[in-house]
């Protein structure tokens, strides 16, 4: 991911923080892009300030509507804190590995959905990103968990808008003129040097675009092109959606990357990076999620408005 120092300055608002993969020593996984809100009366919108604690799955289930491409509304900082407080820091429990992906186990990526057929100038992505920001001071690890909702609109001329709301910072609403979003990926690399780099390249693409069935199929081919990840069978993401899990673990057994795919469309549902043990002096005493990206929706919209 492009470092923050190399990103263009938005036309309005604050500079956008870097979006990419956060590993134990402090890189940040984040980013994404988001569609239009459902049109419904104000009184029908759930209150963000009241009610019992809700998980990400409960929020998304309650706030999705009956549209062909359901899109939840933006979340307030308080609602994000409620979700963060009720989310476990433990990595996803995976079924035993069943070997490398096969043609039978890998989604085809060919089925179109209601999100594919939505018209509009802008590619829109909505994502939730949990990150564990780690620092070492005086020989002791200090870990701070953050949950961020990203909304992003991107046109073919690389103009667009991003809205970022997190549990730790005020909402940032940035507008980009034509050409300013050219640092974000539009397509996959022809090849990668490892399974992990294939997973991160695919995830970066989903953070910034709404891949159509052809692009989704290309992503699946890239994923299986080299030392294919282990197929983990049915895995549920933090929104309660059942997908197919594929993982790769570092040679030293410390870091595990997990990508969860929609079995019908081949699209990415979620991407998790976890430390299975302390990689140094970060104060991690049990397997811990370092970063979790939940891709809520990838689609198109006619206006860059939430």
pLDDT in the model for residue 57: 61
Tokens (6 digits) for 224: 């299986």
CA distance 212 to 116: 6
The answer to whether 281 touches 263, Cβ cutoff 8 Å, is no
Contacts of 200 (CB under 8 A, 6+ apart): 20, 21, 257
Report the pLDDT averaged over residues 26-31: 29
Residue 155: pLDDT over 50: yes
18-22, 50-54, 65-69, 78-82: which is most confident: 78-82
Query: Is the model more confident about 120 or about 306?
Result: 120
Give per-residue pLDDT as tens, 231-281.
Answer: 999 999 999 999 999 999 999 989 999 999 998 899 999 999 999 987 776
């Amino acid at each position: 991911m492009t470092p923050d120092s190399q990103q263009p300055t938005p036309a309005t608002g604050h500079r956008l923080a870097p979006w990419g993969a956060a590993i134990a020593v402090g890189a940040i996984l984040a980013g994404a892009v988001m569609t239009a809100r459902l049109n419904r009366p104000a009184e029908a919108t759930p209150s963000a300030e009241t009610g019992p604690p809700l998980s990400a799955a409960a929020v998304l289930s309650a706030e999705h509507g009956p549209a062909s491409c359901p899109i939840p509304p933006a979340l307030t900082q308080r609602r994000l804190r409620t979700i963060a407080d009720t989310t476990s820091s433990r990595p996803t429990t995976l079924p035993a590995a069943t070997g490398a992906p096969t043609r039978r186990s890998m989604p085809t990526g060919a089925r179109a959905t209601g999100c594919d057929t939505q018209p509009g100038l802008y590619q829109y992505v909505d994502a939730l990103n949990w990150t564990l920001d780690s620092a070492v001071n005086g020989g002791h690890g200090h870990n701070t968990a953050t949950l961020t909702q990203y909304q992003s609109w991107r046109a073919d001329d690389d103009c667009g808008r991003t809205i970022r709301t997190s549990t730790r910072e005020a909402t940032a609403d940035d507008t980009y003129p034509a050409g300013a979003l050219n640092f974000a990926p539009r397509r996959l690399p022809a090849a990668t040097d490892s399974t992990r780099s294939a997973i991160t390249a695919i995830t970066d693409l989903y953070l910034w675009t709404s891949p159509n069935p052809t692009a989704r199929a290309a992503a699946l081919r890239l994923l299986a092109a080299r030392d294919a990840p282990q197929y983990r069978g049915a895995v549920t993401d933090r929104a309660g959606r059942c997908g197919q899990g594929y993982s790769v673990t570092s040679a030293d057994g410390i870091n595990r990357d997990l990508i969860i795919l929609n079995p019908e469309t081949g699209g990415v549902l979620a991407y998790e990076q976890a430390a299975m043990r302390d990689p140094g002096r970060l104060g991690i005493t049990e397997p811990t999620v370092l970063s979790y990206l939940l891709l809520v929706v990838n689609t198109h919209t006619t206006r860059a408005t939430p």
